[in-house]
A and B are shown apart, each in its own frame.
Chain A
Amino acid sequence: MIEPALAPLDVARIRADFPILERKINGAPLVYLDSAATTQKPNVVIDAIGNYYRTSNANVHRGVHSLGNEATDAFELGRRRVAQFIDADPAGLVFTRNTTEALNLVAASYAREMLQPGDRIVVTEMEHHSNLVPWQLASERAGLELAAIRLQDDGTLDMDDAERLLKPPTRLLSVTHQSNVLGTVNDLATLTRLAHAAGALVCVDAAQSVPHRPVSVRQLDCDFLAFSGHKMCGPMGIGVLWARPEPLNAMPPFQGGGSMILRVTLQHSSWNDVPHKFEAGTPDVASVVGLAAACDYIDNIGLTAICEHETRLTKRLLDVLTTIGDIDIHGPLDLTQRGGCVSFNVGNVHAHDVGTILDRTGIAVRAGHHCCQPLMQRLGVPATTRASTYLYTTPNEIDALGEGLAEVKRVFRV
């Protein structure tokens, strides 16, 4: 994964593309280390959205006027562009509001409707609530069993436990590609092989991977994949579910309404083709246009180069945390097993106190349970502090975090 052949990113030039990075917070320059929550947006994305509204706005897939046609073209072009980003067939690419809605779609239309009582869904102990609660809801409604692959102390999955659970009656594995807390990049190749051998489908929560490393659904060989535009320089309010044609064609609709139908009578309706069958109502066309611009922006810089940049920053971050002392780092230390999102605890100091002291000098980190309460229980902490990087993060910002953490230790006498 670490091929030092590529030239390092020109981070100064990249930062000039993100107007918000010029902001001062509490009198200090913003040090934004919360990209795992949402990333900042470059001018090209902000402009693409503005320009769509200024020049091409109309409703899509209805009417015959030229502007409507232009908007429909922009929407469908966006679908093809985003599909290309994950090496997928656009016919399997459904636009949703976010990762959460994409996973709820699979839970409602696949798990709840197509699985049988007694079938098992497998998740892991490190899942975001959005890749856990939808399966709980579906399991309760459809009489399914829900099991979780155990986490080892080093923050990686227990593959023996995976092997034990990925057997009949398991029909679906839903797993995160990269943990939003631990940074762990899961061994999807092995998990997918085990699941498929057991006759189970594989759903990947790619919210933290698609933005940060090259992802190909063909190579992953998964059946469903979900991610959010706002974590990859795109706007909030747009997300993606990609699915293989076999489950997608067989699944009943998620929501009913305009666009998803072929023919409607007072009593019955028939469904439009996929992906439209799963896109009821007026879509967020401007956000699709913005997401397509984000794909262009990221590809122009190169995901491999971004991934290398983040690996270098993560190394520095882990070094800084280790040097400061009295800091518990959660998740693997091996850079080949993790991404640029590092959770830690400073002595016994609560993550909120850490976050507040850092915020006083403009350092934005996430403090809390990160929508992973079962993982917090497994780690035995109420909350963690998380610093996460992206293409615009600089080594100086990592060092600023180090200074901030030294201040935390001073105030709380750690």
Chain B
Amino acid sequence: MVGFSNTTPVEDDLYREIVLEHYSHPRHRGELETASSRVDATNPLCGDELSLAWRVEGGRISGIAFSGRGCSISMASASMLCEALDGQDMATAADIAARFRSMLLDKGPSDGLGDLEALRGVAAYPVRIKCAVLAWNALLQELAGTAETEP
């Protein structure tokens, strides 16, 4: 009665290969002993928990790591965040974060976002957007020192 064969494969939009790959082999997963910033994020709706830590040296992120547990989208997104921001200067990091959020929340352009573009499909799943932006909101909150970044 249900036809999974009749629908677009979920791998074409939400669970793109690269997303599942980050989920099963996360980059930068672990603790960062020498962190200069550390922030926790939780999604009380689903119990996802995430910690993000990074070190800034000479205005650049010279180390970044995440830990926690959650769904494929929140974990892959955290892994991709770390990969995208490692080595960036703070202004670029904030800019990437803002453009990533805009891609999901306002269906903004994904030019220059590299692998992060693979999460674009999440925009079509409103309940999952919170998962994709969990790590990014935490980062932006810490950078801005405010809590105004709820989607």
**Are A and B bound to each other?**
yes
Q: Does B72 contact A (CB under 8 A)?
A: yes
Residues of chain B within 8 A of A404, CB atoms compared: 2, 4
Asked whether, in the complex, the Cβ of B2 is within 8 Å of the Cβ of A373, the reply is: no
Of A194-202, A248-256, A362-370, the one touching chain B: A362-370
Asked whether, in the complex, the Cβ of A400 is within 8 Å of the Cβ of B69, the reply is: no
Query: In the complex, which residue of chain B has the Cβ closest to the Cβ of A397?
Result: B1
**Given A368-B46, A382-B49, A383-B46, A350:B70 Cβ within 8 A:** yes
A396 to B14, CA, bound (A): 27
Pick from A349, A356, A383, A400: contact of B47, CB under 8 Å: A383
Q: Does B71 contact A (CB under 8 A)?
A: yes
Pick from A349, A350, A356: contact of B125, CB under 8 Å: A356
Asked whether, in the complex, the Cβ of B7 is within 8 Å of the Cβ of A369, the reply is: no
Query: In the complex, which residue of chain A has the Cβ closest to the Cβ of B75?
Result: A350
Asked whether, in the complex, the Cβ of B15 is within 8 Å of the Cβ of A411, the reply is: yes
Residues of chain B within 8 A of A28, CB atoms compared: 2-3
- Say what secondary structure dominates the interface of chain A: mixed
A369 to B4, CA, bound (A): 27
Asked whether, in the complex, the Cβ of A352 is within 8 Å of the Cβ of B15, the reply is: no
Pick from A27, A350, A411: contact of B10, CB under 8 Å: A411
Asked whether, in the complex, the Cβ of A367 is within 8 Å of the Cβ of B46, the reply is: yes
Minimum distance in angstroms from B15 CB to a CB of chain A: 6
Residues of chain A within 8 A of B128, CB atoms compared: 352, 356
Of B4, B45, B49, B125, most buried by chain A (CB within 10 Å of CB) is: B4
Query: In the complex, which residue of chain B has the Cβ closest to the Cβ of A408?
Result: B10
Minimum distance in angstroms from B102 CB to a CB of chain A: 23
Chain B interface category by residue count: 20 to 34
**Given A356-B14, A356-B128, A412-B20, A363:B46 Cβ within 8 A:** no
Asked whether, in the complex, the Cβ of B2 is within 8 Å of the Cβ of A382, the reply is: no
Asked whether, in the complex, the Cβ of B72 is within 8 Å of the Cβ of A350, the reply is: yes
Residues of chain A within 8 A of B11, CB atoms compared: 411
Asked whether, in the complex, the Cβ of B2 is within 8 Å of the Cβ of A400, the reply is: yes
Minimum distance in angstroms from A136 CB to a CB of chain B: 17
Which of chain B's residues 1-43 have a Cβ closer than 8 Å to chain A? 1-4, 7, 10-11, 14-15, 20
A354 to B127, CA, bound (A): 13
How many interface residues does A have (CB within 8 Å)?
A: 31
Minimum distance in angstroms from B13 CB to a CB of chain A: 10
Minimum distance in angstroms from A26 CB to a CB of chain B: 8
Asked whether, in the complex, the Cβ of B4 is within 8 Å of the Cβ of A403, the reply is: yes
Query: In the complex, which residue of chain B has the Cβ closest to the Cβ of A29?
Result: B1
**Given A382-B47, A383-B47, A350:B3 Cβ within 8 A:** no
Of A356, A367, A373, most buried by chain B (CB within 10 Å of CB) is: A356
Residues of chain B within 8 A of A360, CB atoms compared: 7, 10
Q: Does A215 contact B (CB under 8 A)?
A: no
A129-145 vs B, CB cutoff 8 Å, 1 = contact: the mask equals 00000000000000000
Asked whether, in the complex, the Cβ of A361 is within 8 Å of the Cβ of B10, the reply is: no
Q: Does B48 contact A (CB under 8 A)?
A: yes
Q: Does A161 contact B (CB under 8 A)?
A: no
Q: Does A353 contact B (CB under 8 A)?
A: yes
Residues of chain A within 8 A of B15, CB atoms compared: 353, 411
**Given A29-B1, A350-B71, A362-B2, A369:B46 Cβ within 8 A:** yes
**Given A368-B46, A383-B47, A400:B1 Cβ within 8 A:** yes
Residues of chain A within 8 A of B125, CB atoms compared: 356
Asked whether, in the complex, the Cβ of A352 is within 8 Å of the Cβ of B1, the reply is: no
Asked whether, in the complex, the Cβ of B46 is within 8 Å of the Cβ of A27, the reply is: no
Q: Does B131 contact A (CB under 8 A)?
A: yes
Minimum distance in angstroms from B71 CB to a CB of chain A: 4
Asked whether, in the complex, the Cβ of B47 is within 8 Å of the Cβ of A376, the reply is: yes
Asked whether, in the complex, the Cβ of B7 is within 8 Å of the Cβ of A382, the reply is: no
A357 to B72, CA, bound (A): 12
A26 to B4, CA, bound (A): 12
A361 to B20, CA, bound (A): 21
Residues of chain B within 8 A of A368, CB atoms compared: 45-47
Which of chain B's residues 50-78 have a Cβ closer than 8 Å to chain A? 69-73
Asked whether, in the complex, the Cβ of B47 is within 8 Å of the Cβ of A353, the reply is: no
A31 to B2, CA, bound (A): 10
Known contacts A26-B7, A361-B7, A376-B47; 14 further A-B pairs (Cβ under 8 A): A27-B7, A28-B2, A31-B2, A356-B128, A363-B2, A367-B46, A368-B45, A368-B46, A369-B46, A382-B47, A400-B1, A400-B2, A404-B4, A411-B15
Which A residues fall within an 8 A CB radius of B? 26-29, 31, 349-353, 356-357, 360-363, 367-369, 373, 376, 382-383, 396, 399-400, 403-404, 407, 411-412
30 residue pairs from A and B, CB less than 8 Å apart: A26-B7, A27-B7, A28-B3, A29-B1, A349-B72, A350-B70, A350-B72, A351-B46, A351-B71, A352-B48, A352-B128, A352-B131, A353-B71, A360-B10, A361-B2, A361-B3, A361-B7, A368-B46, A369-B46, A382-B46, A382-B69, A382-B70, A383-B46, A383-B47, A403-B2, A404-B2, A404-B4, A407-B10, A412-B20, A412-B72
The 5 closest A-B pairs by CB, nearest first: A350-B71, A352-B71, A369-B47, A361-B2, A368-B46
